[in-house]
Amino acid sequence: MYKVFVNDIPIILSTKKDFGEKYSSFPIKTVKLKRIIKKINKGELMFVNLYHKDEQKLLKHLFKKLPVVTAAGGLVYNDKREILFIYRNKRWDLPKGKVEKGETLEDSAIREVMEETGIRDLKITSFLKETYHIFKRKDKLKIKVTHWYQMYSDFKGELVPETKEGIKKAKWKDLEKSQKALTKSYSNIKLLFPKEYLAANSKNRVA
């Protein structure tokens, strides 16, 4: 099963034709995806399941319907177990960006984190997962596939947000502040965090 986000609404990709009575189900091979996205954006659809009996073909059919943008980013810890966040478009996010031609996913993830936050001495410790979201650029819908890595840095210098990319802040956040930040973040970002980071009351406000 996969989740592909349209804003914060997940489209479920599954092998089940019947995903539950709340869900409208469509065969992924023949679904008019742009029409579905339009209805989601209008608030006419909230629960969508796209199905295929072969799980390995779910993403294959999805990627045929919209152009794919490949990106990479990082969930970065320091020696205090704080996590590195960026603030952009009035949301707390994690640093990430588009993979450049000839670049490995790992190199791209490190480069983007460094460029967006000013951090140095990054090391990848593990691969986390891929996330998927649909966005519009120049009136065209695209799917962004982001490859996420867990990283570590003992960097003690000043963080410098990449303002030309619209980033207002780059901040280290401990467990409590991370929980608050996640109440004003994106649903696909929350998928990357251990359960203890998602335990904050949803009514908390970001400081």
Alpha helices for the chain (secondary structure H) = 33-41, 58-65, 105-117, 175-182, 187-190
| Residues 24-47: tens digit of each pLDDT | 999 999 999 999 999 999 999 999
The yes-or-no verdict on residue 178 having pLDDT over 70 is yes
Q: Report pTM.
A: 0.91
Confidence bin at 206 (pLDDT 50/70/90): very low
The yes-or-no verdict on residue 204 having pLDDT over 50 is no
- Sketch out the chain's domains with CATH numbers: 2-65 (no CATH), 70-198 (3.90.79.10)
| Contact (CB, 8 A) for 119 and 111 | no
| Residues 59-92: tens digit of each pLDDT | 999 999 999 999 999 999 999 999 999 999 999 9
| Residues 93-117: tens digit of each pLDDT | 999 999 999 999 999 999 999 999 9
Share of the chain above pLDDT 70, in %: 96
Q: Give the DSSP letter string of 159-178.
A: ----GGGTEEEEEEE-HHHH
For residues 170-190, give the mean pLDDT.
94
For residue 167, what are the CA distances in angstroms to 115, 137, 170? 11, 18, 8
| Residues 192-201: tens digit of each pLDDT | 998 878 765 4
